[in-house]
Amino acid sequence: MPLKTPEEYLESIKRPVNLYLFGEKVKEFWNHPIIKPSINTVMKIYELAQMEEYKDIMTTKSHLTGEIINRFTHIHQSTEDLVKKVKMQRLLGQYTVCCFQRCVGFDTANALYSITYEMDKKNNTNYHKRFIKYWTEVQIQDLMVDGAMTDTKGDRSKRPKDQPDPDAYLHIVNENDDGLIVRGAKVHQTGFLNSHRAIIMPTLSLRLGEEEYAVSFGIDTNEKGITLVYGRQSCDTRKIEDGKLDIGNFKYGGQEIFVIFDDVFIPKENIFMKGEVEFSGELVNRFAGFHRQSYGGCKVGVGDVLIGATALISEYNGTEKASHIRDKLVEMTHLNETLYSCGIACSSLGFQREAGNYEMDMLLANVCKQNVTRFPYEIGRLAEDIAGGMICTMPSEADLKSEEIGPLIEKYLTTCEGICAEDRYKVLRFIENLTMGVASVSYKTESMHGAGSPQAQRIMISRQANLAEKKKLVKRILEID
Binding site for ligand SF4 (CB under 6 A): 99-101, 103-104, 190, 294-295, 298, 446, 450
- Which secondary structure element, helix H or strand E, spans residue 21, and what is its range? strand 19-21
Check if 256 is active-site. yes
Rank residues 12 and 445 by Cβ distance to ligand SF4 and give the closer one: 445
Q: Which of ligand SF4, Fe ion, none has residue 34 at its interface (CB below 5 to 8 Å by kind)?
A: none
Query: End-to-end CA distance of the chain, in Å?
Result: 63
**Nearest residue to Fe ion, by Cβ distance, number only:** 450
Site string for Fe ion, 259-298 (x = CB under 5 A): ----------------------------------------
Check if 446 is active-site. yes
Catalytic residue, chosen from 98, 298, 342, 368, is: 298
Crossing angle of helices 362-372 and 323-348, in 10° steps, is 150
DSSP string over 231-288: PP-TTGGGGGSSSSGGGSS-S----EEEEEEEEEEEEGGGEEEES-HHHHHHHHHHHH
Q: Give the number of other Cβ atoms within 10 Å of residue 408's Cβ.
A: 11
Q: Is the dihedral of CA 459, 464, 469, 470 positive or negative?
A: negative
Check if 98 is active-site. no
Rounded to a whole number of angstroms, the minimum distance from the CB of residue 310 to ligand SF4 is: 21
Q: Give the number of other Cβ atoms within 10 Å of residue 384's Cβ.
A: 18
Check if 342 is active-site. no
Catalytic residue, chosen from 213, 252, 295, 316, is: 295
Catalytic residue, chosen from 118, 210, 212, 256, is: 256
Q: Is 83 left (phi over 0), alpha (psi -120 to 50) or beta?
A: alpha
Check if 99 is active-site. yes
Rounded to a whole number of angstroms, the minimum distance from the CB of residue 104 to ligand SF4 is: 5
Q: CA angle, corner 86, sides to 219 and 133, nearest 5?
A: 30
DSSP string over 154-214: SSTTS-GGG-SSGGGS-EEEEEETTEEEEEEEEEEEETTTT-SEEEE--SS---TT-GGG-
Q: Which of ligand SF4, Fe ion, none has residue 295 at its interface (CB below 5 to 8 Å by kind)?
A: ligand SF4
Rounded to a whole number of angstroms, the minimum distance from the CB of residue 190 to Fe ion is: 5
Catalytic residue, chosen from 212, 230, 291, 368, is: 291
Query: Does residue 191 touch Fe ion according to CB under 5 A?
Result: no
d(CA 396, CA 241) in angstroms, rounded, equals 11
d(CA 22, CA 261) in angstroms, rounded, equals 20
Rank residues 17 and 145 by Cβ distance to ligand SF4 and give the closer one: 145
Catalytic residue, chosen from 384, 397, 432, 446, is: 446
Q: Are strands 171-176 and 19-21 parallel, antiparallel or unpaired?
A: unpaired
Check if 103 is active-site. yes
Q: Are 119 and 279 in contact (CB under 8 A)?
A: yes
Region binding Fe ion by CB under 5 A among candidate stretches 139-147, 402-410, 448-456, 469-477: 448-456
Q: Which of Fe ion, ligand SF4, none has residue 100 at its interface (CB below 5 to 8 Å by kind)?
A: ligand SF4
Distances (CA, A) of 8 to 14, 72, 94, 141, 143: 10, 17, 24, 11, 11
d(CA 4, CA 222) in angstroms, rounded, equals 20
**Binder among 450, 456, 457, 460 for Fe ion (CB under 5 A):** 450
- When computed from its CA atoms, the radius of gyration of the chain, rounded to whole angstroms, is 24
Catalytic residue, chosen from 98, 99, 342, 368, is: 99
Rank residues 44 and 207 by Cβ distance to ligand SF4 and give the closer one: 44
Check if 298 is active-site. yes
Rounded to a whole number of angstroms, the minimum distance from the CB of residue 81 to ligand SF4 is: 16
Rank residues 236 and 256 by Cβ distance to ligand SF4 and give the closer one: 256
Check if 291 is active-site. yes
Q: Which of Fe ion, ligand SF4, none has residue 185 at its interface (CB below 5 to 8 Å by kind)?
A: none
Q: Which of Fe ion, ligand SF4, none has residue 298 at its interface (CB below 5 to 8 Å by kind)?
A: ligand SF4
Q: Are 115 and 201 in contact (CB under 8 A)?
A: no
Rank residues 6 and 301 by Cβ distance to ligand SF4 and give the closer one: 301
Region binding Fe ion by CB under 5 A among candidate stretches 1-9, 206-214, 282-290, 438-446: 438-446
Question: Which residues participate in catalysis according to the annotation?
Answer: 99, 103, 190, 256, 291, 295, 298, 446
| Binding residues vs Fe ion (CB under 5 A) | 446, 450
